[in-house]
Amino acid sequence: MERPVIIGVGMTPVGEHWRLSLRELAVEAILNAMDDAGVDRVDSLYVGNMISGSFVEQENLGALIADWAGLGNIPAVKIEAACASGGAALQEGAKAVMSGLEDVVAVVGVEKMTDAWPSDATRYLAYAADAEYEHFHGASFVALNALIMRYYMQRYGYTEEDLALFAVNAHANGAKNPYAMFKRAITVDTVMRSPYIADPIKLFDASPVCDGAAAAIITTKEKAKELGVPKEKWIEVAGFSRAIDTINLANREDLLTLKAAKVASERAYKMAGISVKDIDLFEVHDAFTVMAALSLEAIGVAEKGKGAMLAKEGQIAIDADYPIQTMGGLKSRGHPVGATGMYQTVEAVLQLRGEAPDGIQVPDAETALTQNIGGTGSNITITILRRV
């Protein structure tokens, strides 16, 4: 089956957008993407969003955003998969194009988190966990990931300093990304001196609460040609898949295997006809430093238990073998939850087009992987993007 292509991308900077509402953020990203693609209409809209009903008391985002973006009476729906909503929305958009039912599709990921009080934001994020057996007991999302981090350190003998290297790498790259929330480099010491939120997770192991929106326009190769989009701008959605795992962390067969990522990445590699060795850069879901390590293991970049070694050995930098978080990742670019998967998409597209900012362009990047995690690994999307 012919793979669709992304012909335009757009985004807002990630940050605390006190002057902008959810709808304004989403509209800005969509219009930027439409301008980038050179289209003035789309057949449908897919909105990736985790939890606008709680954060800004607004659901029915399909109608809201398509209306305010001036897209007319098109089909438009919200896709929800916790923090993986953006990645899931992209895949639904790609499927719609592949089905032949919709020619030109817009996908936007958006989240407006800073209108809520911080402890309420913590509560809403915990809704992605098991309400009855996790959140009921006072578990925050950070706390659940802290249980994973301690277990990982115990099992393989890593230290907090070892895992801090993922945050250091993310910030080194994010410092050069004008759209990143935290545009400054940090050291292991910065991480170690930051306060514990849920031991052993410190503030600098964790991604921030923030606002943002990112969008892409997807179409068929035939339509891209008809629209006159230059071929250098075509980025193929070469393979994609997603999978679930137990929603309750305690019910996992193995706490340290992101099985959903393993299953989904194997299927995505097969669909793209590649192996992990063919991938030039990885945007993985480093909501917490330990998640970067587990993700690299699950998608086959590292052996089990060796994910953190890649950071220790300097293999994840822009000019190394396995560049990750090339624009700052969730840690430095920011993690506006339902938008994150679309930020990863936009960033991967810019890398593949050779349009990444100076200092963080991966040389001659042909193929990129994005991995977007919802819950503590309970819903994971994998998408392979490739230059045409």
Partner 1 sequence: MAKPMQVARYWRHFKEKYRLIGGKCENGHVFFPRRSVCPVCGSRSVEDFQFSGKGRVISWTIVRNPPSGFEYYKPFPLALVELEEGPVVLAQLTDVDPEEITSGMEVEMVTRKIREFGEDGIILYAYKFRPPVK
Nearest distance from C-beta of residue 154 to partner 1, angstroms: 6
For residue 45 the two structure tokens come to: 């809209």
Helices 289-298 and 160-174 sit at what angle, rounded to 10 degrees?
Answer: 90
Q: Which is nearer to partner 1, 72 or 196 (CB)?
A: 196
Q: How many CB atoms lie within 10 A of CB 273?
A: 11
Cis amide leading into 200 (omega within 30): yes
* Shortest Å, Cβ 304 to partner 1: 17
End-to-end Cα separation, the chain, in angstroms: 15
Task: Give the shortest CB-138-to-partner 1 separation in angstroms.
Answer: 4
The residue among 132 and 358 lying less far from partner 1, judged by its C-beta, is: 132
* C-beta pairs of 243-246 under 8 Å, 24+ apart in sequence: 243/267, 243/379, 243/380, 244/378, 244/379, 244/380, 245/377, 245/378, 245/379, 245/380, 246/378
Q: Which two three-digit tokens encode residue 261?
A: 């990522």
Which listed residue (17, 135, 285, 335) is catalytic?
A: 335
- Cβ at position 63, least distance to partner 1 in Å: 28
Structural contact between residues 268 and 383, judged by C-beta atoms closer than 8 angstroms: yes
Q: Which is nearer to partner 1, 159 or 251 (CB)?
A: 251
Tokens of 199: 């031991």
248 vs 361, beta carbon nearer partner 1? 248
The CB-of-160 to partner 1 minimum distance in angstroms stands at: 13
**DSSP letters for 79-124:** E-BTBTHHHHHHHHHHHHHHHTS-SSEEEEEEEE-TTS-HHHHHHH
Binding site for partner 1 (CB under 8 A): 117-120, 122-123, 126, 132-140, 142-144, 146-148, 150-151, 154, 195-201, 246, 248-251, 255
CB of 152 to partner 1, least distance (A): 9
Instruction: State the nearest-atom distance from the C-beta of 127 to partner 1, in Å.
Output: 9
Interatomic CA distance for residues 196 and 87, integer angstroms: 30
Annotation marks residue 210 as catalytic = no
Nearer to partner 1, 134 or 280 (CB): 134
Listed in sequence order, the residues at least 6 apart from 309 whose beta carbon sits closer than 8 Å to its beta carbon are 302
Nearer to partner 1, 47 or 116 (CB): 116
Secondary element (H or E) of residue 385: strand 379-387
Active-site residue identified among 17, 83, 135, 210: 83
Residue (42 or 125) nearer to partner 1, CB: 125
Contacts of 35 (CB under 8 A, 6+ apart): 8, 10
Residue with tokens 């599709």: 105
Active site residue 335: yes
Joined tokens for residue 263: 């299953």
Helix, strand, coil percent values for the chain (each to nearest 5) = 40, 20, 40
Active site residues: 83, 335
